[in-house]
Chains A and B, each alone.
Chain A
Amino acid sequence: MIQESATARPPEEAMPSSDPEKWVDLHGDALYRFALLRLRDPKLAEDAVQETLLSALQARERFSGQSSERSWLIGILKHKVIDYFRKISRESLIEDATQFEEEIEGVFDESGHWKRDETGPAEWNADPDLILERKEFWIALDRCLSKLPPRMAHVFALREIDGISGEQVCSVLNLSTSNFWVLMHRARMQLRKCLEVHFFGKAPDVGHGAPGGKI
């Protein structure tokens, strides 16, 4: 009987290799950065990667091959991240979202309005299809995400990047709905502002708008 030869695939799409140590070389850094964005601590991120790889080793037989090897590992890592958040949220005091009030001072005037072009959003020259192609955008985005305070980053990443529902984020992080909404609002505000300065080119609060615009 003729054996079919295995179809060659690029590393990210490979079936689990008979040598799991290859996972470290192929996927280690990607897993680490995924964990670091969400956990914000290098040691925790390393631990999460280790636990993910060990779990994956045990679960290897059950990998159905429906997704790529990397997606499969990321899926395991996502669960590890959520488990970690559940654990710390049970144990620690949840900080009051109003402690971030200071960041918004100065953005609005006494009647609560943008200070016109000084602090008001500029027009962004942003054709989404073109933006996605530009590496500078992704670099600026990661830089801006890394500037979010850890608590805000936890909430925002789970919700907006991993697409976890608001209810589940509140449950995992032990947050009230109102605190969740305040944290999401602050995160959006801060991220938008950072992108405006670092990518779309508006100087920080000096009243120069970006040229021309679609957004």
Chain B
Amino acid sequence: MSSWLINFLARNTPSCKEVVQLLSNSMEEPLPLRQRIAVRFHFLICKWCLRYQKQIHFIRNILGGNPEKVGQNAPGALSAETKERLKQALRKQPPSLN
């Protein structure tokens, strides 16, 4: 790509800082056409923003596709005392009347 074109695109497309916000917004609602076009042109001269887009979509797909796996590898468990307390709370409940 000619350096004139690269400079033109650099001057006339949003900055990376703006693009990353737009990329996130596009995951909430479709971007207006003008912004979609501007982002596409920006990708022509910025491989980092293109990678960023792929990566945040990757994260979305991983989280959305495996909700049961998320959070299960964090530290944290109920102590034995807490479990006993929960069991006692359950024992105290009257049986349901249905």
Contact = CB atoms under 8 A, between A and B. Distances in A.
Interface of A: 20-21, 23-25, 28-30, 32-34, 36-37, 42, 45-46, 49-50, 53-54, 57-58, 60-62, 74, 104, 107-108, 111-114, 116, 120-124, 126, 128, 131-132, 135, 138-139, 141-143, 145-146, 160-163, 166, 180-182, 184-185, 188-189, 191-192, 195-196, 215
B30 to A, nearest CB: 13
Interface in B39-98: 46-49, 51-52, 54-56, 58-64, 66-74, 76-78, 82-83, 86-87, 89-91, 93, 96, 98
B53 to A, nearest CB: 9
B87 A21 contact: yes
A91 to B, nearest CB: 26
Contacts, number: 158
B90 A146 contact: no
A36 B96 contact: no
Given A30-B72, A132-B66, A142-B73, A181 B58 contact: no
B83 A24 contact: yes
Contacts of A58: 93, 96
19 contacts: A20-B90, A33-B74, A33-B76, A37-B74, A58-B96, A108-B16, A112-B16, A112-B17, A113-B15, A128-B58, A132-B66, A135-B73, A138-B73, A145-B74, A160-B64, A163-B67, A181-B25, A192-B56, A215-B51
Which of A45, A60, A160, A188 is the most central at the interface, judged by chain B CB atoms within 10 Å of its CB? A188
B76 A42 contact: yes
